[in-house]
Amino acid sequence: MSMRTSRSTAALVRYGIALAALIGSAVLGALVHSPTVWGLAPVVLYAVLSLSGMNLLLATVFALLSGILLDQRSPSGVGELLGHSLGDSVTMIGLIVVLGAGLGEVLRVTGVADVIVRGILRMVRKDSAIALQLGVMAACLVLVFALGTLAGALAIAAPIVLPVLARAGFTRSATASMMFLGGCAGLALAPFAGSNIAILDASTVDYGTYVLVAAGPLAVLSILLSLLIVPRVQRRAVERGDDFYAPELAGDSGERSSGKHSRRASIVFGIALVLAVGYATVSGSGTTFPLVALPVLAVVTALAGGLRADAAVAAICRGGGRMIETFLLFWMLSAFFEIVNELKPYDVLLAHFGPTLHDLPALGFAAGVALLGWLGVPGATAAHVVLLNKVFGTLGTSLGITPAAWAVTYLWGSKADTYGPFPNANMMSVLGFAESTRLRTMLSVGWVLLIPAAVMYLLILFVLL
């Protein structure tokens, strides 16, 4: 009862802060005009509400309303703002997330995701712990790479890999560690993940450059460190002796025969995905390319998998429907950033502090932005990137930060919190799929990767700048 009361009190405090901010914005709107430093008030409100635990969509709406009141927008002007925001690149990222979720559902329904995992596991030696570990990591990496979502991919992979690992004597903690490291490496590489599309859009690099300087090093480091981390976690868990899977799970072979439609759909999807990624890399296609690629991938995979047209449409809509809140979030974010740009608070700050800021070293500035993104910017990963770019992009570029350096900065600033310093949704979902409860172990795994990765990216930034 006391916990419920404390949550209700916290919610009332958040809504009280939001209401007070809206009243203050309405009063200030009648007194100030653009450009004004008061244009930062909606940004501060967004940060406070998000950090306090308010739903991100609600926090964004309150921040947007604050900006509208400061700008003294008429109802028709608000309609124009929202209409214009629908065509903005920020909203486009939200639409890409919806389309990606639709593709993921098609892969699940046609059995392609299942075929991918089982196919990789069949290629590895079951009598070698290291080979099996790398096989499971590769399966998680490839599936997350294809689906663009960590939780969705591991939800499919877990029922297949758990019996195999249980029979091999792996503990729950070791299983969670390898799934986490492999899955997060795949998420960094995923060409059509919303967060990575946001990085490509904000940094203006192509996918090949992104992999070379940003995502690739993280994926390689994750795999190399896993050769030390997972065996260490396994040894400690074995010493405790209370972290093994139940015997009945180990008795499940996990082997299932794949239908011919699933196998055919997997081949078609694999070829289409390679062609799409290759075309995007060679042609330097912009971030609008996934708007075409994702529906095409979904359609050809559905057709190859023997789905009827109505079933294919239903699968795409069912998967995409789960991400409608994310789409609305990015639509509201786009309108929010546009209204803040019209208030021009950064113009005022640059006029006062411009000479001092332009004396900052590019490396220190980039590292500071990444650190702020890691520890200070709330929200979903793609929202991290959008916010960092809107606030610091222009100034950083004027300091000499190159597109490649921005890709590194945005990746680390938006993804570092996946590995720590605190528990997060990705960690908790992996623990759930691995049927593990050792959160402290998962945190230590994240930290062991976090520290060398931070040093690695600092060195890469030093070379690029």
- The pLDDT > 90 percentage for the chain reads 33
Q: Collapse the DSSP code of 107 into the 3-class scheme (helix H, G, I; strand E, B; otherwise coil) and give the result.
A: helix
Q: Give the predicted TM-score (pTM) of the model.
A: 0.77
Q: Which residues contact 179 (CB under 8 A, 6 or more apart)?
A: 136, 137, 140, 154, 157, 158, 161, 430, 433, 434
C-alpha–C-alpha distance, residues 274 and 265, integer Å? 14
Q: What is the pLDDT of residue 215?
A: 95
Give 446's pLDDT tier (boundaries 50, 70, 90): very high
The single-letter code of the amino acid at 129 is A
Q: What is the pLDDT of residue 65?
A: 95
Question: Among 189-198, 317-326, 348-357, 404-413, where is mean pLDDT lowest?
Answer: 348-357
- The pLDDT > 70 percentage for the chain reads 93
Q: Which two tokens stand for residue 399?
A: 């300091």
Q: What is the pLDDT of residue 16?
A: 92
C-alpha–C-alpha distance, residues 45 and 363, integer Å? 29
User: Other C-beta atoms within 10 Å of 3: how many?
Assistant: 7
Give 233's pLDDT tier (boundaries 50, 70, 90): very high
Above 70 in pLDDT, residue 139? yes
C-alpha–C-alpha distance, residues 287 and 100, integer Å? 14
Question: Among 375-384, 411-420, 455-464, where is mean pLDDT lowest?
Answer: 375-384
Question: Among 17-21, 60-64, 130-134, 247-251, where is mean pLDDT lowest?
Answer: 247-251
C-alpha–C-alpha distance, residues 275 and 281, integer Å? 10
Average pLDDT, the chain: 85
Above 50 in pLDDT, residue 325? yes
C-alpha–C-alpha distance, residues 59 and 377, integer Å? 13
Give 186's pLDDT tier (boundaries 50, 70, 90): very high
Give the mean pLDDT of 176-196. 91
User: Other C-beta atoms within 10 Å of 274: how many?
Assistant: 10
Which range, 14-18, 125-129, 249-253, has the best average confidence (pLDDT)?
14-18
C-alpha–C-alpha distance, residues 346 and 37, integer Å? 7
Q: What is the pLDDT of residue 189?
A: 94
At which residue do the structure tokens 């260490």 appear? Answer: 232
Above 80 in pLDDT, residue 292? yes
Check whether the bond before 35 is cis (ω within 30° of 0): yes
Give the mean pLDDT of 227-251. 84
C-alpha–C-alpha distance, residues 449 and 451, integer Å? 6
Q: What is the pLDDT of residue 21?
A: 92
Question: What is the distance of C-alpha 4 from the center of its chain?
Answer: 31
Q: Which two tokens stand for residue 136?
A: 């499971």
C-alpha–C-alpha distance, residues 406 and 199, integer Å? 8
C-alpha–C-alpha distance, residues 446 and 51, integer Å? 22
Question: CB-based burial of residue 397 (10 Å sphere; 0-12 exposed, 13-18 middle, 19+ buried)?
Answer: middle
Scored b (16 or more CB within 10 A) or e, 48-77 reads bbbeeebebbbbbbbbbbbbbbbbebeeee
Q: What is the pLDDT of residue 1?
A: 47
